[in-house]
Amino acid sequence: MDDAGKSKPLRVLFVNRMACLERGGGETFDLEISRHLAKAGARVSFLSGAPLLRPAPLPLEGARTLHTPWLRRFPWDKVKGGWRVRQVEFECFEWRAARWVAKHAGEFDVIQVCELPNLVHWLKKKGVKTPVVMRLTAPNYYDPRGGVPLADALIASGTSIERLMERGHAGVVDIPNAVDADLFRPQPSGFRKKHGIGRDEFVALYVARFQAFKNHAMLLEAFAEFAKGHPDSRLVLAGSGPLRERCEQQARDLGITGKVLFLGEVPYGELPGVYAAADVKVISSDYESFCFAAIEAMSAGLPVLTTDCAWVPRLVSDGAGMVVPAGDAAAFAAGLKKLADNPALRQRMGAAGRQQVLKRHTWPASAEKLMALYGRLAGSRPAPSAPPQKDAHA
């Protein structure tokens, strides 16, 4: 307790290598829940990555960044053995982060790590006593040094909960992914006017990194087939990643370049306007352990057309969308046609999705649950030893 008799604010360090480099589900979770933790009274800091010789492309106010190698355009998920290059990149950051955190650990009550199992291993090896909470965004993590079991707590959501429990992590805590329903909502948008899209054109939106498992290739094939019968239609692709240039070439080969808009990385604050301009949110992934973009779209009142990609079908199971087989371009094209031809169906699905978000996926509820976990961990942390007192009679 401080002099005023009030509890001191909980000091939380988020370590997320990609938060200042690229934004995906793990980054969205950390950035959003940290904002709501701060509203609840926590004092939040960030440690993130930056390119070796350049400033961070997505700077975070007040964040500490560590410069390490980053091969942004290297297609690690398409090149044989490419994952090893990506792993070396992460290990460089983890090693530098471990040295920095070990030096500053006493400044924090809890350290939250987005994956990075090697970092957890090195922190424990260095004798860091501050509790470490590790969030696993997917169950297929790479942990060569056994860092995951060393974390003081594991948190996850979606299919990752089940898979982690199957792997023996019975104590994993479910902290649900969420969305800011006040930000992502049905609202007027100037996006169509800005990009020359007609009011009556049918717009399908995909918000995803250009990586193999997101299967943009199948989506482009399906959209090309769909567009033959629906010439007044557009496909909007938001995101960056190593396969973007390949997808741009595929669009040219399919003859749909004029119908596909590649937005690149969209600032988070601008995304609600992009969703508000669309008619349907599409998800063509082969696998999703959760998918933030799905609940963002549902919150914005959009119907969701998704592949059978693990968790997303569960999100839309109560009437918020349609599910087709993964990898099936013909079925996806048929789904687009059904939604394009049925505005009333789209409206019903969008309304159902919005209600589901308000009921199950709000940040304040998730932040409250995580704050309770932090409190338990910080409360069980051994008090620092008092410095030896000099004998007054010496």
Evaluate whether 178 touches 366 at the Cβ level (below 8 Å): yes
Closest CA to 306 of 326, 277, 278: 326
Whether residues 246 and 371 share a domain: the answer is: no
Would residue 115 count as lying in a domain? yes
- The three-class DSSP label of residue 11 is strand
State how far the Cα of 383 lies from the Cα of 372, in Å rounded to an integer: 19
Residues 6+ apart with CB under 8 A from 316: 294, 298, 304, 306, 322, 323, 349, 353
Q: Whole-prediction pTM value?
A: 0.77
Do 351 and 375 share a domain, yes or no?
Answer: no
Distance CA 109, CA 375 (A): 9
Predicted local confidence at residue 243, as pLDDT: 92
Judgement on whether residues 218 and 119 belong to the same structural domain of the protein: no
Is pLDDT above 90 for 368?
yes
Same domain flag for 162 and 237: no
Q: Residues 235, 321: one domain?
A: yes
| pLDDT for residue 219 | 98
Confidence of residue 268 (pLDDT cuts 50, 70, 90): confident
Strands of the sheet containing 202-207, edge to edge, are 260-264, 233-238, 202-207, 280-283, 304-307, 321-324
The reply to whether 125 and 242 lie within a common domain is no
Same domain, 80 and 197: no
Residue 202 resides in a domain: yes
pLDDT at 6: 59
Helix (H) or strand (E) holding 222: helix 216-229
Same domain flag for 256 and 130 = no
Q: Is residue 388 part of a domain?
A: no
Q: 381: pLDDT confidence band, cut at 50, 70 and 90? A: low
Q: What pLDDT band is residue 388 in, cutting at 50, 70 and 90?
A: very low
Query: What SS3 class is residue 35?
Result: helix
Per-residue pLDDT tens digits for 188-206: 999 999 999 999 999 999 9
Q: Is residue 2 part of a domain?
A: no
Same domain? 171 vs 301: no
The answer on 155 and 25 residing in a single domain is yes
Q: pLDDT tens-digit profile of 11-44?
A: 999 999 999 998 888 998 999 999 999 999 999 9
| 140 against 174, higher pLDDT | 174
Mean pLDDT of 52-63: 92
CATH code at position 90: 3.40.50.2000
In this prediction, residue 246 has a pLDDT band, given cuts at 50, 70 and 90, of: very high
Q: Into how many domains does the chain fold?
A: 2
Torsion angles phi and psi, residue 111, rounded to 5: -115, 120
Q: Both 261 and 336 in a single domain?
A: yes
Q: Are residues 214 and 271 in the same domain?
A: yes
Nearest 5°: the CA angle 52, 113, 60 is 50
User: Does some domain include residue 389?
Assistant: no
277: in domain: yes
Query: Could you tell me the residue range of the domain that residue 122 belongs to?
Result: 11-178+362-379
Taking each helix axis from N to C end, the angle separating 363-379 and 25-39, rounded to the nearest 10 degrees, works out to 80
**Does residue 183 form part of some domain?**
no
Cα separation values, 167 from 115, 118, 138, 142, 326, Å: 16, 18, 13, 13, 26
Report the pLDDT averaged over residues 64-79: 85
Give the number of residues written for the chain.
394
Over the chain, what is the mean pLDDT?
91
Residue 384 lies in a domain: no
